[in-house]
Structure 1
Amino acid sequence: MDAKQIAGEKAAEYVKDEMVVGLGTGSTVYWTIVKLGQLVKNGLKMKGVPTSTKTEELARSLGIPLIDINNAKKIDLAIDGADEVDAEFNLIKGGGGALLREKMIASLAERFLVVVDETKCVKTLGSFPLPVEIVPFGWQMTRNRIDGLGCESKLRTAGRAPYITDNGNFILDCGFDEIHDANGLNLELNRIPGVVENGLFVNMTDAIVIGRNRGKVEECLFCRERIQSSTHTK
């Protein structure tokens, strides 16, 4: 069992009966959703709020009941992956193209649980290019403004055409190298007209489950101020 599967399946243990759960997008949370599908078949009562059409299709194929975000009175727990996570629980997300919906659902959830394998844990964010979702209108002007913040951005493509998000927008993948002030950059990016949202998740994460090699999982449980970690053998 690889580290992604270990972390993803462990995260499913946090889901209890009658919960409304935000279902993330990506290769690690995929295993969470597969495990939840098994638990639902065995009697778990829950509803999911998907962060992408891809996740929606997967959840439906596994028999997980879904609810539209507009009909969810609350989201008890959101579970999602990350492209990078630092020691302060700040994240870079959006490699899968669903960053806007992921951030909306995470912000509405009472608790936000992140699942990653150990390769995603970094000292400083920035090795992974920061995704920024922008509107197509005047996108090159928007890119120029973003590059003025100290990065080199590239338009994400699908074949020869621009990649289109579930919301009908473009994504710029922005190379900042090292991001020492994630909160400041988050605010600066979102002040630029044409920027819809960016992939910095700052002061949002409540817990992290980290899948490690040799079948181990580390849980950093619901505490930004004091991380309590334990290692378990699978």
Structure 2
Amino acid sequence: MNQDEEKRKAAHAAMRYVEPGMVVGVGTGSTVAHFIDALAERRHDIAGAVSSSQWSTQRLKERGIEVLDLNTTGDLPLYVDGADECDDQRCLIKGGGAALTREKIVAAAARQFVCVIDASKRVEVLGRFPLPVEVIPMARSLVARAIVKLGGQPVWRDGVVTDNGNWILDVHNLRISQPVELERELNQIAGVVCVGLFAARRADVVLIGDQVMG
């Protein structure tokens, strides 16, 4: 089975968690694109969706799914999103698509977070994929210097501006054996908006293709 087929299977498997009348939190990325397409087939069965990015908002609207504001929906029953890496504890690296801050907000609002991935995203230890960190533009160099002291090699994702008007540092050369602690430490650096470690709020369920990760 190729990667795209695994992504499609995972996205369709996530539909098992969608119940009538739900407001569904929707992530960003290639696997989520398949989920949005599947969700569109049941658009009359749900109350709407909360989107984590401008990209997802556009795709949802194009498929006739009403996009709602998280400020008006309150807590969400379900959030479905992909990941760039996932370890055996369901901790994630996200942010390859630069939507990490809004993704983390929607995940925090959700009672259940279902992560959909293909097998290539599963790792024993996080860090092979560079860790995205969203930063206030004026703090880019300040944050980068602090990250170097922690042993990382930050690279500015030049030319990329997030939906929030901020910049991304991709941090290489990390072996993240304690993701909760590193997430907390990076969050304390002045100028950091969000860290692409989803460890304090990790996935509740991980689907690899149509199988639940054991």
Paired residues of 2:133 and 2:171 also in contact (CA < 8 A):
yes
Q: What SS does the aligned partner of 1:3 have? A: helix
**Deviation sequence 1:88-134 (CA, Å, 0-9, x none):** 00000000100000001101101100000010011110000000000
Structure 1 residue 12 and structure 2 residue 2: aligned? Answer: no
8 Å CA contact 1:130–1:176 kept in 2: the answer is: no
Residue identity matched to 2:204 = D
Q: 1:193 aligns with which of 169, 179, 190?
A: 190
How high is the sequence identity, in percent, across the aligned residues? 40
Higher Rg of the two aligned structures: 1
Q: In proportion to residue count, which structure has more helix?
A: 2
Which residue is equivalent to 2:72? 71
| Equivalent position of 1:135 in the other structure | 136
Partner of 1:171 in structure 2? 168
Structure 1 residue 66, shift from structure 2 partner: 1.4
Show CA shifts across 1:130-172 (max 9, x none): 0000000131122111121101110012xxxx31000000000
Alignment of 1:15-54 (within 5 A): 15-40=18-43, 43-54=44-55
**SS across alignment from 1:174:** strand
| Richer in strand (by share) | 1
Verify the 8 A CA contact 2:151 2:174 in the aligned structure 1: no
| Gap runs ≥5 in structure 2 | none
**What is the aligned residue count?**
210
Q: Alignment partner of 1:96: what SS?
A: coil
Q: Using the alignment, how far apart are the partners of 1:202 and 1:128 within structure 2?
A: 15
Distance 2:127 2:47 in 1: 36
Structure 1, unaligned runs of 5 or more: 212-216, 221-226, 228-234
- Residue 231 of structure 1 corresponds to none
* Alignment TM-score, normalising by the size of structure 1: 0.87
Instruction: State the Cα deviation string for residues 15-69 of structure 1 (Å, max 9, x = none).
Output: 11111111000111111111001122xx412310000000000000000111111
d(CA) in 1 for partners of 2:88 and 2:121? 11
Does structure 2 conserve the Cα–Cα contact (< 8 Å) formed by 1:20 and 1:74?
no
Aligned to 1:55: 56
- Superposed CA deviations along residues 167-209 of structure 1, whole A, max 9, x for unmatched, are 0000000013311111111011000000011000014211011
Moved over 3 A (4+): none
